[in-house]
Amino acid sequence: MFARLSVLMFMLLALMQVGCVHRRVTVNSYPQGALVKVDGKDIGYTPASFDFTWYGTREVQLLMDGYETRTEQIDVNAPWYQKFPLDFISDNFLGKHVTDHRQFTFQLQPKRMDMSSDVLQRAGSLRSEALHGP
pLDDT for 8: 60
Domain assignment present for residue 4? The answer is no
Domain assignment present for residue 89? The answer is yes
pLDDT for 99: 80
Domain assignment present for residue 6? The answer is no
Q: How far apart are the C-alpha atoms of 63 and 45, rounded to whole Å?
A: 9
Domain assignment present for residue 61? The answer is yes
The parent domain of residue 36 ranges over 19-114
pLDDT for 13: 53
Q: How many domains does the chain have?
A: 1
Domain assignment present for residue 7? The answer is no
- The enclosing domain of 61 has a CATH number of 2.60.40
pLDDT digits (tens, 9 = 90+) for 52-101: 988 999 999 999 999 999 999 999 988 776 677 766 666 666 666 778 89
CA atoms within 13 A on the CB side of 133: 0
> Which has more pLDDT, 115 or 104?
104
Domain assignment present for residue 1? The answer is no
Domain assignment present for residue 39? The answer is yes
